[in-house]
Amino acid sequence: MTRTTAMTLGLLVTMLAACAPGPMLVTAPVLRTEESAFTGTASVPTSLAPSSRSHARADERSDEPDRGRRFWVADKRFYFSKWYAGKHRKMINFGCTRAPYYAPSPLCSDDRGFHHGLDVAMACGTRLFAGLRGTVVRPKSPGSLGSAYGRFAFRLRNHRLDRDIVFGHVGKVYVQPGDRVGRGDLVALASDEGAPDGCHLHFEVRPKGGSYDQAVNPRSVVDLRLRR
């Protein structure tokens, strides 16, 4: 190899060495920056999503009681009724149930208890209405309600049916004993007062002046509907 050739090769190597880092140093940070920006954008909703969903579920649990939910009826449909605002799920039907809040009943098998009304799940504060005309029954009259119904539970007597309708586990009450109410009048708000399984309405139908053990299936009176 001549001296001239060696000098030429040396010059080429020097030029290549000087030029090669340039594009690499410029290009590499740009690629990392773009990748980081994309990853950051994608990772934000991914990391927040579980927290958001958990928060939404917590809100749902605060609106609908989840204590003892495994004892609810299998029917997961939501029903309208003239007795309350909105549409809601049934919790426990009238009749025999495995819910642990009721003592074993001779009317039921397998040590199940007997539930004398219909429980409808709803948020505390849900408006409750008089689905029929009636008179608010005085608390001390025959058939008075025990503490299991909550401190503010009351009965509405419909004279045409000769029945007492029980509003159990209510909070704020807008009527007084002796009041005559019309159909659609606001009478109370739902709550979890006296309830072991969260906010709901306990709806019960009895003969006039009758006790809980004389209660009848409230299905025809509560008149649940899938559509308004």
User: CA 65, CA 77: separation in Å to the nearest integer?
Assistant: 16
Q: What is the pLDDT of residue 66?
A: 53
Average pLDDT over the chain, rounded to an integer: 78
Residue-level pLDDT at 103: 86
Lookup: tokens for 226: 């899938």
pLDDT for res 98: 86
User: Do residues 161 and 33 lie in contact, with contact meaning Cβ atoms separated by under 8 Å?
Assistant: no
Four-point Cα dihedral 192, 196, 201, 207, nearest 10: -130
Number of Cα atoms under 13 Å in the Cβ half of residue 100: 6
- The reported pLDDT for the residue numbered 29 is 37
pLDDT value for 68? 62
82-126: pLDDT as tens digits: 999 999 999 989 999 988 888 899 999 998 999 999 999 999 999
pLDDT given at position 70: 75
**Cα 181 to Cα 161: distance, rounded to the nearest angstrom:** 15
Cβ proximity of 186 and 128 under 8 Å = yes
Q: Which segments in the chain show pLDDT lower than 70?
A: 1-68
Q: How many CB atoms lie within 10 A of CB 62?
A: 13
pLDDT at 67: 57
